Amino acid sequence: MNDQATFEMRYRALASRDARFDGQFIAGVHSTGIYCRPSCPAITPKPGNVTFYRTAAAAHEAGLRACKRCQPDAVPGSPDWNLRDDLAARAMRLVEDGVVEREGVDGLARRLGYSSRHLTRVLTAELGAGPLSLARAHRAQTARTLLASTELPVADVAFAAGFGSLRQFNDTIAAVYRATPTELRALSRRGRGRPPAAPHAASGTLTLHLAARAPLDRAGLFRFFADHAVPGLEHGDETSFARPISLPGGPAAVEVRAGATVDTLLATVRLARLADVGVAVARIRRAFDLDADAVAIDAALASDPVLAPLVAATPGIRIAGSFDPVEALFRTLVGQQVSVASARTALGRLVAELGDGAFPDAQTIAARGRDVLRGPSSRIDAIVGVAEALVDGRLQLDIGMPLAEFRAALLAQRGIGPWTADYLAMRALGAPDVLPVDDLVIRQSAAALGLPGDRTGLDRHAARWSPWRSYAALHLWRARPPRARSARA
């Protein structure tokens, strides 16, 4: 699509106030000096006064401020950062995970395998802003969320959002929103009242509203997490899920519950350090796949007559992701070729004997895994071997890795085959276009629905589901024949 066609498509979305595009791009209105979400209820500006931007940071660089009426930062994030696998998208995953705050631009570039100069050049060309501006915009959005959802004092909001000083925070809020933090708090709560969890804020426990793109198969997500919950580590039911997570500032705990509307979740986070709140929110959003473009996914998959009834039965299906790629790897290896119940038992024993209240790290599994793991010696050797590779650096997993590099790194390890690599690409990277054609349940479901049940035939047919083959896999797992049993964990 050329630039003019892209502009016309986006302008039509703006003119029709189409909320499906909120978060996917921003409309900068130069006659007023503001930027808006596509669904802004204001009078549609003339085309000559509008420039469309990929990120809020790009709008900030152009000297625009956020619209107080539509609050363009109060929307789900862009689905592009998972859909695309290029350098800009992978950088955005890491920016949202707080890498710039922790490691600086040089650290971000190093994680991505490029020089900081080249990275800045690419991000400026692709997204309209460099890494420092992108991180600044993300801090401002985190601050807006905290002001809207908590009763934290303004100074605490500033440092929790990652600002180095109260003055820097006030200057950024003034530049981005043309308001003081107190005024922004009032604007963000317009029509919502006070947040429900304010009394706990001082103890490091915050409750935040997380918006998702509708439709959202909330029940399916909670069911998956509950069915796969590791005893002693996690617990969940049809409307909630809770577990500890590891954050840069120390151990934390999260509880995610169904929100008041079908496209919202409530996340309560207990933090060792308030500055980790942005990272916690980013990881919850990734684990629950909240930024997926559900409308586009459902429309694309429903165009196949075989999948259409499955999509109609479960609109807004989501990838249940992971909070840590290394943990996801060990959970998958332990759960291979056994039932979910057996995997939960084995993982519960691992946590009880090696975890000390959390999932054990690679170093602990490398040192003591053989004392706890049960099963064939070849599987134990593979699990311990992977742990050793992680410890000595021969294997590295990162959400900023390209899909091909991620799969290749896994396939180079003994005991890891294509199914494991594909499944982990879905769970750890949130990759939207992976179909594990070696999965027995997927092939049984495909055959029962009249699709090719062999690997080659199914792979060929699934090409029409691209770039959403991971979501097709979820529908096929859900549609498994009664006698099929999944060994995923």
- How confident is the model over 310-356, as pLDDT tens digits? 999 999 999 999 999 999 999 999 998 889 999 999 999 999 999 98
363 and 398, same domain (yes or no): yes
Q: Identify the pLDDT of residue 158.
A: 95
**Residue tagged active-site, from 22, 36, 217, 433:** 36
Q: Identify the pLDDT of residue 327.
A: 97
Of 128, 159, 188, which one is at a domain's C-terminal end?
Answer: 188
* Residue 67 among the catalytic residues: no
Evaluate whether residue 49 is within a structural domain.
Answer: no
What CA dihedral angle connects 42, 15, 7 and 39, to 10 degrees?
Answer: 60
Tokens at residue 125, please?
């060309």
Q: Identify the pLDDT of residue 188.
A: 84
Evaluate whether residue 107 is within a structural domain.
Answer: yes
336 and 469, same domain (yes or no): yes
Q: Identify the pLDDT of residue 191.
A: 61
139 and 170, same domain (yes or no): yes
Tokens at residue 297, please?
């996914």
184 and 202, same domain (yes or no): no
Q: Identify the pLDDT of residue 1.
A: 63
Q: Identify the pLDDT of residue 20.
A: 86
Rounded Cα–Cα distance for residues 359 and 232 (Å): 10
Contacts of 270 (CB under 8 A, 6+ apart): 203, 204, 205, 252, 253, 254
Of 161, 188, 215, which one is at a domain's C-terminal end?
Answer: 188
The answer to whether residues 152 and 179 touch, using CB atoms and an 8 Å cutoff, is no
182 and 215, same domain (yes or no): no
By residue count, the chain amounts to 489
Tokens at residue 234, please?
């996690």
Evaluate whether residue 8 is within a structural domain.
Answer: no
Evaluate whether residue 483 is within a structural domain.
Answer: no
349 and 467, same domain (yes or no): yes
Evaluate whether residue 280 is within a structural domain.
Answer: yes
Q: Identify the pLDDT of residue 483.
A: 62
Evaluate whether residue 212 is within a structural domain.
Answer: yes
- Tell me the pLDDT tens digit for each residue of 143-187: 999 999 889 999 999 999 999 899 999 999 999 999 999 999 998
CATH of the domain at 418: 1.10.340.30
In which domain, by residue range, is 356 found? 325-478
CATH of the domain at 101: 1.10.10.60
Of 157, 188, 219, which one is at a domain's C-terminal end?
Answer: 188
Q: Name the domain count of the chain.
A: 3
Q: Identify the pLDDT of residue 489.
A: 44
422 and 373, same domain (yes or no): yes
The answer to whether residues 173 and 181 touch, using CB atoms and an 8 Å cutoff, is yes
Around 160, how many Cα atoms within 13 Å sit in the side-chain half-sphere? 30
260 and 347, same domain (yes or no): no
340 and 474, same domain (yes or no): yes
**Residue tagged active-site, from 22, 73, 85, 439:** 439
CATH of the domain at 275: 3.30.310.20
* Residue 70 among the catalytic residues: no
267 and 204, same domain (yes or no): yes
Question: What's the predicted TM-score (pTM) here?
Answer: 0.92
454 and 354, same domain (yes or no): yes
Which residues in the chain land under pLDDT 70? Answer: 1-2, 191-203, 483-489
Q: Identify the pLDDT of residue 199.
A: 41
Q: Identify the pLDDT of residue 279.
A: 96
Evaluate whether residue 193 is within a structural domain.
Answer: no
Q: Identify the pLDDT of residue 357.
A: 87
338 and 275, same domain (yes or no): no
